[in-house]
Homo-oligomer: A and B are copies of this chain.
Amino acid sequence: MVDEGTLKALEDKVAELKRLIQQDGLELSEELSLLERKLEELRREYFAKLSDWDRVKLARHERRPTGIELVEKVFDDFYELRGDRLLGDDQALRGGLAKLGGKPVVVLFHQKGRTLEEQRRYRFGMAGPAGYRKAARLMGIADRLRLPLISLVDTPGAYPGVEAESHNIAGTIARSIETMLSVRAPTVAVIVGEGGSGGAVAIACADRVLMLEYAIYSVISPEGAAAILWKDQKATPKAAEALGLSAPKLRALGVIDEVLPEPLGGAHTDPDATADTIREALMRHLDELFSLPLDELLALRYKRYRDVGSYREIETGSFLQDL
């Protein structure tokens, strides 16, 4: 069975060959095309029977394009805005103005960082109170200026720390949700990597929620679920399966509106194509939303979130007998 280690080794080899051909002008094109065919084959095999745990690993892939990389490819311009006007500027959750198809938009995104130093500085995309307050501030700009709000979600979750708890991280997430739901302009969220729990939902309460094919969106990390529910770290892949965190499953549940296909091999194998897909989808959904008058837009949003959930009504009498 192909595993991600084999894949990665082959990917590295292909990359190395390409480098040699380009840099040193070596005549290795035959070897390259051979390897590329092999890689393609293995990928097909691997992606044909992708487990949800494989998807988690893809969503967390070290080469997966990060927030800022996607933002720069998806949007025509990006002008970063900083600070929550009180606590500071949290670089784990960034945002600013941008253009999309000639239209001004407000963008929010988690930033995980690629290098170790970046990851430390961005705390792997785990934002704290200043981050969620900044998010709410930028949502306020979108609201006042009637600019569409677009968020790219990629976080393991909100930052769990003493400082964060001291500044009411929970309350700042609640305010972020409240503010996002009240923006008087179209809102679209795209889960592009990890959609980790409250830290994700804080900027994902949009009119349309899209999701990259190999992104995940989950109420808890598979590791956390394994520890709490299975009391066994080895149950992590099983937990990933159970949590229903994959894009197709969430689409089936109606939690997300559209799965955005990734290149075979995942977004990191072709960030440009991935960005193109995101851009095309954003423009399509924004076009639809722009055609709605404000009261209808808000009514649809209200209905979407008011009605979410899965339960059934029973007759209490019979229920009590059942127990």
Contacts and interface: CB of A to CB of B under 8 A. Distances in A.
Interface string A68-90: 00000000000000000111000
**Chain A contact residues (Cβ within 8 angstroms of B): what range?**
under 10
Count of chain copies? 2
Contacts of A85: 168, 171
Chain A interface helix/strand/loop/mixed: loop
Of A86, A87, A168, most buried by chain B (CB within 10 Å of CB) is A86
A167 B171 CA distance: 18
A310 B87 CA distance: 38
Contacts of A129: 86
Nearest to A175: B85
Interface string A160-190: 0000000110011000000000000000000
Contacts of A171: 85-86
Interface in A122-174: 129, 167-168, 171-172
Nearest to A87: B167
A85 B86 CA distance: 13
Contacts of A168: 85-86
Nearest to A83: B168
Contact of A172 (B86, B167, B172): B86
Contacts of A87: 86, 167
Nearest to A129: B86
A112 to B, nearest CB: 26
Nearest to A133: B86
Nearest to A172: B86
A87 B163 CA distance: 11
A16 to B, nearest CB: 50
10 contacts: A85-B168, A85-B171, A86-B86, A86-B87, A86-B129, A86-B167, A86-B168, A86-B171, A86-B172, A87-B167
Interface of A: 85-87, 129, 167-168, 171-172
Given A85-B168, A86-B168, A87-B167, 7 more contacts: A85-B171, A86-B86, A86-B87, A86-B129, A86-B167, A86-B171, A86-B172
Sorted nearest first, the 3 A-B pairs with minimum C-beta distance are: A85-B171, A86-B168, A85-B168
